[in-house]
Structure 1
Amino acid sequence: MSKVANRLKNVKKAVEKVVHGPTLRTDIKAQGAVAGPPLGPQLGQRGINIAAFCKDFNERTKDIQAGIPLPCRISVRADRSYELVIHQPPTTYFLKQAAGARRGATKAGHDVAGKVTLKHIYEIAKIKSADPPLQEVDLKEICEMVIRTARSCGIQVVRDLDPVEYGEFLAQREEEMNAQDEALAAVREAKLLRTK
């Protein structure tokens, strides 16, 4: 074989082998860890016993309402054991729950998906301060971070909220979202018809 062929063969071997890092960051729904994709392959690539991990995760989240997304950090050791750190749900989840919004705004800054009060912001910040990365951060900074996240989702932060007026706003917003969903479905259907 020529030198070039040997080099290509060595390059091909180097490309085929992928080394995964010792830390895995993923979101898993509470009580919803299953061996199937996408979680199963991610754990299998790192040599973690998938069935034992799923059982452990589901047991640790049994007190949390099923289906809530939980950011997880999994550190894999050399002996294939792992350390699982489960964080609080994402800030966007809490904001949408507090605002009663099904989803965020399609155009943040132009569209309002919902409204929350400063009390909501404070309560969310208190909950998020229990997360390991935020334990040493001042509560005021966490509140500012929650406000920035609310703006990026199209959720407006207000001082007071009239429940009757807000109920009307949510009903109007639901109609707008249904119209957007119908328009998106029509666009998808038109694309499918063009490809046939």
Structure 2
Amino acid sequence: MSKAASRLKALKKGAEKIAHTSRLRTDIPAGMAAAGPPLGPMLGQRGINIAAFCKDFNARTADIKEGIPLPCRVSVNADRSYELVIHKPPATYYLKQAAGITRAAMEPGRETSGKVTLKHIYEIAKIKAEDPPLQLQSLQQVAQMIIGIAHSCGIEVVKELDPKEYGEFLEERKVVVEKQKQELLEKKEAKLLRAV
């Protein structure tokens, strides 16, 4: 009987050590955390003081250009305190910046939305390697992951890039993007007409 009681006591101690936290994964623009939707309701559901969280986040991202999307991981403890981990911007953000584009390809593999050099990939990999999930991977593995992301965005990875040729490519690309936007708008309007 005493053996069973001591085993039960040991199990109870083990159960008390388990951290009962609620996790939240979201992207928040740097310096722009606000109490309104979508962030406010997500924090409110977890019992976090929304105003205090927004103030804390905005203070911690004050040195980053406003509006840059930052992936955040929030662990909410039982006492309603929280731990905020702010990652580097997504690789797609850096790739689009390096390529000088605002939009990725609608049909990756069939169209090229932009081009980046291997040097761009290496620099992005160095930045992203600081993120907690990627810290255990080698720089080469992170670079290969970023090349994969570039391909999924329709961004071509090249050894060298001629600025004049690339400028001409971007001008041609603007025409294609405008045409795609127009087609999407027409499809949307046609769908709305069918719904009426």
TM range (shorter): 0.7 to 0.9
1: CA distance, partners of 2:111 / 2:158: 15
Contact 2:21 2:75 in 1 (8 A): no
Tell me the residue number matched to 2:5.
none
Q: Report whether the alignment pairs 1:79 with 2:75.
A: no
Moved over 6 A (4+): none
Deviation at 1:173, TM superposition (A): 0.4
* TM-score, with length taken from structure 1: 0.88
Q: Can you list the C-alpha shifts for 1:129-160, whole angstroms capped at 9, x where unaligned? A: 11111112110100101001101110000000
Deviation at 1:188, TM superposition (A): 1.5
Tell me the residue number matched to 1:8.
none
Q: Can you list the C-alpha shifts for 1:13-50, whole angstroms capped at 9, x where unaligned? A: xxxxxxx9611110000011011111111101110000
Tell me the residue number matched to 2:152.
152
Deviation at 1:185, TM superposition (A): 1.1
Trace 1:84-99 onto structure 2 (pairs within 5 A).
84-99=84-99
SS of equivalent to 1:72: strand
1: CA distance, partners of 2:120 / 2:194: 47
Deviation at 1:88, TM superposition (A): 0.1
User: Counterpart amino acid of 1:31?
Assistant: G
User: Counterpart amino acid of 2:164?
Assistant: V
2: CA distance, partners of 1:181 / 1:108: 16
2: CA distance, partners of 1:189 / 1:152: 28
Contact 2:22 2:76 in 1 (8 A): yes
Q: Report whether the alignment pairs 1:27 with 2:27.
A: yes
Against the structure 1 CA distance between its residues 141 and 56, is the aligned structure 2 distance closer, same or farther, given a 3 Å change threshold? Answer: same
1: CA distance, partners of 2:195 / 2:21: 41
The unaligned stretches of length 5 or more in structure 2 are 1-19
SS of equivalent to 2:146: helix
2: CA distance, partners of 1:186 / 1:133: 41
Trace 1:42-61 onto structure 2 (pairs within 5 A).
42-61=42-61
User: Counterpart amino acid of 2:133?
Assistant: P
Tell me the residue number matched to 2:38.
38
Tell me the residue number matched to 1:190.
190
Tell me the residue number matched to 2:118.
118
How many residues get paired? 177
User: Counterpart amino acid of 1:169?
Assistant: F
The unaligned stretches of length 5 or more in structure 1 are 1-19
2: CA distance, partners of 1:126 / 1:188: 41
Tell me the residue number matched to 1:134.
134
SS of equivalent to 1:74: strand
RMSD: 1.2
SS of equivalent to 1:180: helix
Deviation at 1:101, TM superposition (A): 1.2
1: CA distance, partners of 2:190 / 2:146: 39
Against the structure 1 CA distance between its residues 180 and 82, is the aligned structure 2 distance closer, same or farther, given a 3 Å change threshold? Answer: same
1: CA distance, partners of 2:96 / 2:21: 33
Contact 2:21 2:78 in 1 (8 A): no
